[in-house]
Chain A
């Protein structure tokens, strides 16, 4: 894991991603200070939830696509020819980064949102921001794994991002709208998990949560993502 941690610390993409999340939090803070918290915890959704969600996908795709973009996969695999170990060490570091990013975002946003909303009727208590941070963390771990898998499948940063955004924002969202089928889609089950952690009021949803089923389906999605992407990576020659 050491070389992957080093890449995370010296290469600019993770830093830029963290900076973008910070900017989103600051913008949300300014909006809250002038306009108040808004209904359905919009500030929390757009200040913490959505930025860390997109950042997690970016980090996941980057961790896999980086080696192809820089043509360094051969170098990586000649230092560690155990490809499964390479996949899991990269995945572990990507999860670590997404976790640090989400927790960090929640910790930064907590005092800022509380302070900015203090002049308004509807405040954002620290506990709410922390809950949203935890709910986002549960989802972001899944998204970073999915992003990583899609980066590994497409063997490129740009291809991975396109496929990830297409999958989450188009395919997954559309299929979620289909009765019965939608119950098994990732955005549906992750929504349930999020609501279970933060509560209906903060989530702004009123889903019928079957938590065991939701967690089981999420685990199946994660296993499918990792297995399908790794299978190709483990079997094929590296150009």
Chain B
């Protein structure tokens, strides 16, 4: 799969400290890719380096195969829509005029049809000729998204796109972002809202203090280490026997204390649990997949990362 954006050992240092530390990560074509981390984790800095707005201290980034400064980088970056640190809009211009300015910057002739489509897509067609200075934050955010989508970019880079939106607006933007790969636009989206990343992304990279601490598909991040699994209810008198049966097929099972079993391991689906139990004459009363969330994964990973750093510091 082609990588539309790559970070290769990226380091960005400021006088005040290291913002990004040895970040290696790729954004594959056709996916919604998340960059996840708390405020100050280095997400925006990494994006700014990727787009040529800041220079890397070490390492390199590529956008559609080209690094900032390479011949043709300008053409590459024009195929990338951006929304960085809030919507960058000319407040005294109307929504339509903002899109016209962007269309001129990309070099689109006769952009009217495309602008109307985008305004409809983000629900601002009726306010097309209103100065965007009078827009609410949510409307500005939606217009910012429309600006980033003009010219049907191959990739859009969205930094905290749901900031300032009400719950309905968040759902709207999330659904819009999820559909972008169908329109031929891949997405790199950064957010500190873990639930948002979980709901809209195919894969994610988790950053903490500028360092990559985990990367993979959302499923890999959620279930890859067996931190989430299934809750199984069987006849309480057969719990010990069920644990033994599951252990023999390579799954770990432990009692939850409420008459149920927590089962983890390499579980493809519910059948991986119910079948061996049934073969052993134990019938499953209830089988429920535990809802893992990125928040738990993130907290555990950042805790591990912190522990490792402390150990290294103590050893030194």
Contacts and interface: CB of A to CB of B under 8 A. Distances in A.
B106 A79 contact: yes
Most chain-B CB neighbours within 10 Å: which of A75, A77, A78? A78
Interface stretch (A3-11, A52-60, A151-159, A179-187): A3-11
A76 B105 CA distance: 8
Interface stretch (A66-74, A117-125, A200-208, A221-229): A66-74
A70 B54 CA distance: 19
Q: What is the predominant secondary structure among interface residues of chain A facing chain B? A: helix
Given A3-B105, A6-B101, A10-B97, A78 B51 contact: yes
Given A10-B100, A74-B53, A81 B74 contact: yes
Central interface residue in B100, B102, B105, by most chain A CB within 10 Å: B105
A162 interface: no
Interface string A206-239: 0000000000000000000000000000000110
Interface string B85-100: 1101111111001001
Contact of A77 (B52, B100, B101): B52
Contacts of B105: 2-3, 76, 79-80
B77 A12 contact: no
B254 interface: no
Nearest to A5: B104
Nearest to A83: B52
A70 B89 contact: yes
B82 interface: yes
B59 interface: no
Given A10-B100, A79-B77, A82-B74, A238 B48 contact: yes
Contacts, number: 80
A81 B89 contact: no
Given A74-B88, A237-B55, A238-B54, A80 B74 contact: yes
A85 to B, nearest CB: 8
A3 B100 CA distance: 8
Interface string A1-35: 01101110011110000000000000000000000
B17 to A, nearest CB: 15
A75 B106 contact: no
A33 B56 CA distance: 65
Contact of B93 (A10, A78, A237, A238): A10
Given A10-B97, A81-B68, A74 B82 contact: yes
B74 A78 contact: no
B78 interface: yes
B90 A72 contact: yes
Interface of A: 2-3, 5-7, 10-13, 66, 70-72, 74-82, 237-238
B170 interface: no
Contacts of A78: 51-53, 77, 80, 82, 84
B52 A81 contact: yes
27 contacts: A2-B104, A2-B105, A3-B102, A6-B100, A10-B90, A11-B90, A11-B93, A12-B92, A13-B92, A70-B89, A71-B86, A72-B90, A74-B88, A75-B88, A76-B105, A77-B53, A78-B52, A78-B53, A78-B82, A78-B84, A79-B78, A79-B105, A79-B106, A80-B78, A80-B105, A81-B51, A237-B53
Contacts of A5: 104
B107 interface: yes
B102 A79 contact: yes
A238 B90 contact: no
A63 to B, nearest CB: 13
B271 to A, nearest CB: 49
Given A10-B97, A76-B105, A238-B54, A81 B73 contact: yes
A11 B89 CA distance: 12
Contacts of B51: 74, 77-78, 81
Contacts of B77: 78-79, 81
A77 B48 CA distance: 11
B78 A70 contact: no
A2 B109 CA distance: 11
Interface in B236-277: none
A32 B97 CA distance: 41
B194 interface: no
Given A78-B51, A81-B52, A238-B48, A70 B101 contact: no
Interface in B24-83: 48, 51-55, 68, 73-74, 77-78, 80, 82
Contacts of A79: 77-78, 102, 105-106
A13 B90 CA distance: 12
B53 A3 contact: no
B145 interface: no
Given A77-B53, A81-B77, A237 B48 contact: yes
A239 B79 CA distance: 22
Contacts of B100: 6, 10
B23 to A, nearest CB: 17
A76 B90 CA distance: 11
Contacts of B74: 80-82
